[in-house]
Structure 1
Amino acid sequence: MMTGTTHKLGDTRRHYWLAVGMADISGADLQRALEEGRITHGDWAGMVERCRGCNWADGCDCWMQTQSAGEATVPRACPNAEMFDAVIGSQSDA
């Protein structure tokens, strides 16, 4: 049985750029992680899809406008927060 409210997935391009923006704001170097094999193309596509389903996308946009690049902690409302945290954590190991 499904519970909760569903909504239409957001525009793929918009959410791609929101995810790129969140990575930039948080300091998560997704391109490097991809090149070094720490994430896959499937991981990256999954991040965009999770973002597309997020109810907080408008808040995300506004929040990012108030942050400095590379210095922000990804809000827990972001469905990709754990992925960004993992990428950032693996950067210090690399």
Structure 2
Amino acid sequence: MTGPDPRPQPLGDEKRHYWLAVTMAHRTGADMQQALEAGVISSGDWAGLVQACRGCGWTEGCDCWMARQEDGAADPPAACPNADVFARVLASQGG
């Protein structure tokens, strides 16, 4: 797996990256709604997560990675700029 392009990227489409983030949550088993309700993340954290995704240079790699994963079965990939957020949510859920 190659990592993200470290150069600044133009921001991607907001809707596309929202759905990439939602799908990444499903693939990792991170229940973002539960995390919001429990105060593990805030709505600002979620907005920041989508914004970080929009600026990521690994979008095509992300699509390929997610296509090979089953829901709830994957660790967040290190190339994901939000891997730490997904890991924090998973840890709060005992995962």
TM-score under structure 2 normalisation? 0.90
Note the 1:41-80 alignment, pairs <5 A.
Answer: 41-80=43-82
Code of the residue aligned with 1:51 in structure 2: it is C
RMSD of the TM alignment (CA)? 1.3
Which string of whole-angstrom CA distances, capped at 9 and with x for unpartnered residues, describes residues 13-59 of structure 1? 00000000000000000011001111100000000000000000111
Q: Which has the larger radius of gyration?
A: 1
Aligned residues: 90
Partner of 1:6: 8
**4+ residue runs over 4 A deviation:** none
Partner of 2:69: helix, strand, or coil?
A: coil
TM-score under structure 1 normalisation? 0.91
Partner of 1:15: 17
Runs of 5+ consecutive residues of structure 2 not aligned to the other structure: 1-5
Partner of 2:27: 25
Q: What percentage of aligned pairs have identical amino acids?
A: 57
